[in-house]
């Protein structure tokens, strides 16, 4: 499918979703959020093992939700708008494979929220990230009050959201918000390398690991889920092959 502000490109089983609204530093409007939903579904339908989310150009990952669109919304409209953003963030979090945010510039507000909905984050040295919504008289609307504390801890998440702090890449890495930071010119190559490494992992095991890690109920329920997911992998090609290869002293050939 073709979209005006989003593209989906393939390299083997790695799909890259690029948000492309250069006039608005890739800020997200309704059209773009709807296109992202379609693109994520297409990547999943076509069997992507890894989905990379990034922004077009050199300046921005996603500069947030579109403020010009939001400024005059009534509460019922804001409810629908928030729900649409949540739907996209949830689709990234639940993606049936690994999602990686390649953070190549500004990732403010809703941009930060899309990044932290992904499984992993790799950033360029010049990236800036933060939940800056408080400066607009609102709060994060696409998941940060729930996802940010899980990444950086409760006290720091409160400080970042209450103060609208903008972190540079190094500070974000130290806070646990970025998994790794690389020189700007190496971002694409590093993300491609990581994505291909993940795509070569046994897919069913990777998905089961992700679903177990994503359990957000009680620990007891999560442990029960893990128990079931662990058992469900026995008898799969990759489990038999992985263990046979170990016993035979050779490299496994996963599906």
Catalytic residue numbers read: 113, 133
Contact status: 61 vs ligand CAA (CB under 6 A) = no
Q: Which of 1, 2, 45, 68 binds ligand CAA (CB under 6 A)?
A: 68
For the chain, the first-to-last Cα distance in angstroms comes to: 28
Q: Which is nearer to ligand CAA, 96 or 132 (CB)?
A: 132
Which residues are paired to 14 by β-bridges? 11, 50
CA angle at 98 for the pair 96 and 99, rounded to the nearest 5°: 105
- According to DSSP, the β-strands at 180-182 and 128-130 are unpaired
Closest listed residue to residue 130, CA positions, set 157, 154, 155 = 157
Q: Which of 14, 50, 52, 63 binds ligand CAA (CB under 6 A)?
A: 63
The 211-240 site mask, x for binding ligand CAA (CB under 6 A), equals ------------------------------
Q: How far apart are CA 58 and CA 170, in angstroms?
A: 18
Closest listed residue to residue 17, CA positions, set 31, 30, 37, 27 = 37
Contact status: 41 vs ligand CAA (CB under 6 A) = no
The 84-123 site mask, x for binding ligand CAA (CB under 6 A), equals -x--------------------x-xxx--x----------
For ligand CAA, the binding residues (CB under 6 A) are 24-25, 27, 63-68, 85, 106, 108-110, 113, 132-133, 136, 140-142
């Amino acid at each position: 499918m073709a979209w005006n502000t989003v593209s989906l490109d393939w390299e083997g089983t790695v799909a890259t979703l690029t948000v492309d609204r250069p006039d608005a530093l890739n800020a997200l409007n309704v059209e773009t959020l709807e296109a992202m939903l379609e693109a994520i579904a297409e990547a999943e339908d076509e069997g992507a093992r890894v989905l990379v989310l990034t922004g077009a150009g050199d300046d921005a990952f996603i500069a947030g939700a579109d403020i010009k669109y939001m400024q005059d919304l009534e509460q019922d409209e804001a409810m629908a708008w928030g729900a649409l953003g949540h739907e996209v963030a949830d689709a990234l979090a639940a993606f049936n494979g690994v999602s990686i945010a390649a953070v190549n510039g500004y990732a403010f507000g809703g941009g930060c929220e899309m990044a932290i909905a992904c499984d992993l984050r790799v950033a360029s040295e010049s990236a800036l990230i933060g939940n800056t919504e408080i400066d607009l008289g609102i709060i994060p609307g696409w998941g940060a009050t729930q996802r940010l504390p899980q990444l950086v801890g409760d006290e720091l998440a409160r400080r970042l959201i209450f103060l609208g702090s903008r972190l540079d890449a190094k500070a974000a890495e130290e806070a646990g918000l970025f998994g790794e930071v690389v020189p700007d010119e190496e971002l694409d190559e590093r993300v491609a390398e990581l994505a291909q490494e993940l795509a070569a992992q046994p897919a069913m095991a990777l998905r089961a690991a992700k679903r177990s890690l994503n359990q957000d109920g009680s620990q007891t329920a999560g442990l029960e889920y893990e128990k079931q997911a662990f058992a469900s992998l026995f008898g799969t090609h990759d489990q038999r092959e992985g263990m046979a290869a170990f016993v035979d002293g050779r490299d496994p050939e996963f599906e």
